[in-house]
Amino acid sequence: MLAVNVGFIRSVMNSISVANSKMHHKCRNIEKPYLRSDVYRVKVPDDKIKWEVVWLEYAPQDFTSLTAIDKPWADPNDFKNQKFKWNDVDGLISRRSYMGKYNLDKTGRPLNPVGRTGLRGRGVLGRWGPNHAADPIVSRIHHGQLQFVGIARRDSGEWAIPGGMVDAGEDIQETLKREFTEEALDGKKYPELDMLWCKGVELYRGYVDDPRNTDNAWIETVVVNFHDNDGYLNNVTLKAGDDAIKLRWITVSVGEKLYSSHEDFIKLLAQHHNCTDTELHYGSGNYYLYIGSFVASVAVVSVWSSLDVIVKCPEGLNKYQALSTMSRRPGPPSIDGLYSLKIDNISYQTAPQDLRRLFEKYGEIGDIHIPRDRYTKQSKGFGFVRFYSRRDAEYAMDRMDGRWVDGREIRVAMARYERPIDERSRNGGSGGYRSSRRRPWFAAAAVAAAANHRNTV
């Protein structure tokens, strides 16, 4: 039985956080989702995702793979002779969505509650509407580091959390155990793990941004953390099963690329174990690092030139306060009371009015600035958008980070303002947007080791 004290509320809040991070990003940004077919997605702009937005020209291809037809785990395509119990339990199949009640299209098929994906039909998914999955995150503390069991998927080679679809009539708790046993224990059952399976903590329940999603079929999952504090796995042989080609313990870090929405789930794992006090940031980009809440002799931060960070946690993990954080944390306002976002990796063609058009929907903007080279007059590839409200700035950061603008994937982070020289101490220095704190020696060394990677002007 899952731990009761985790509560449904936290799972729902995590659901909202993950859903808002990069809505419909993966399933909309794969033009050709099935490499061995001639199926293409219609490109869906961000402002056309919601079904409430009228888009008369929207006419995507209707596709259901032959691999998902006439299979015992798949729904029939015959809507005339088949009666489905939408938003209800249909025999042994739950057609209820964690997102609430979903609507039907003109043909009587479920509509993706998040919005348009650029493709109709079931694709390669088995069920119309929600396809329920379960993802067990088995974790431990090893040499002071938080780790989880990861597998390399056989279909794509990407590293992922073990997991899979809930069978008809199967309890989710059984799915969690079965999937981990099949994919990480090569099908072998270990009675000594029974106690571990009783200590699950639910981290997430909701929609999954998966490249297989369509307008009429989508994946929803329950993510549960089974943390091995008692060494249950010490006498167990981990071995990749049929659906995996490799298996290893993966140390939680900001640089690990994972399949589908699994990166978001690992962020939740890190937050649950207090290994970070802010959202972990994945992907490339220019960041600065600062150290906060330093606790001597209990943690180490390793920094490479790429600014990947591994947070080593002490044994008393629940008492540990994070000591590394990226510039995702909101900083203080500048001297004129505005909260600034730094926009990295913008195109040379992007103008201030383009940024205003993209960001003004999130709140009232004070001003926008794109620095230009004094000789070529070209953009330097970054800019600033300044909001009157910190909440608006945070909201814009979460919604715009990772968006594609003028052919570039922009990176959005909070900028920190440093007072001009005449308003600061005698230590001197120029004003501008950068870390607002004096960095201790270990932070300075970390930044120096990653020259030209600071998020400063």
In this prediction, residue 404 carries a pLDDT of 85
In a domain, 33, yes or no: no
User: What's the domain count of the chain?
Assistant: 2
Q: Do 403 and 283 sit in the same domain of this protein? A: no
pLDDT-based confidence at residue 310 (cuts at 50, 70, 90): very low
In a domain, 152, yes or no: no
In sequence order, the 6+-apart residues with CB closer than 8 A to the CB of 403 are 46, 358, 409, 410
In a domain, 315, yes or no: yes
In a domain, 134, yes or no: no
Highest-pLDDT range among 44-53, 274-283, 318-327, 428-437: 44-53
Q: Do 345 and 378 sit in the same domain of this protein? A: yes
In a domain, 411, yes or no: yes
In a domain, 424, yes or no: no
pTM: 0.58
Q: Do 326 and 346 sit in the same domain of this protein? A: no
In this prediction, residue 300 carries a pLDDT of 29
Q: Do 355 and 326 sit in the same domain of this protein? A: no
d(CA 155, CA 427): 57
In this prediction, residue 36 carries a pLDDT of 64
Q: Do 364 and 410 sit in the same domain of this protein? A: yes
Q: Do 344 and 397 sit in the same domain of this protein? A: yes
pLDDT digits (tens, 9 = 90+) for 101-132: 999 999 999 999 999 999 999 999 999 999 99
Q: Do 348 and 377 sit in the same domain of this protein? A: yes
Do 257 and 152 form a contact (C-beta atoms < 8 A)? no
Range of the domain at 392: 339-415
Q: Do 404 and 346 sit in the same domain of this protein? A: yes
d(CA 342, CA 434): 10
Q: Do 345 and 391 sit in the same domain of this protein? A: yes
In a domain, 356, yes or no: yes
Q: Do 443 and 326 sit in the same domain of this protein? A: yes
| pLDDT mean over 313-320 | 33
Give how far the C-alpha of residue 247 lies from the chain's centroid of Cα atoms, to the nearest Å: 22
In sequence order, the 6+-apart residues with CB closer than 8 A to the CB of 140 are 146, 147, 148, 227, 228, 229, 233, 249
In a domain, 115, yes or no: no
Q: Do 408 and 353 sit in the same domain of this protein? A: yes
d(CA 163, CA 196): 17
pLDDT digits (tens, 9 = 90+) for 52-106: 999 999 999 999 999 899 899 999 988 878 889 999 999 999 999 999 999 999 9
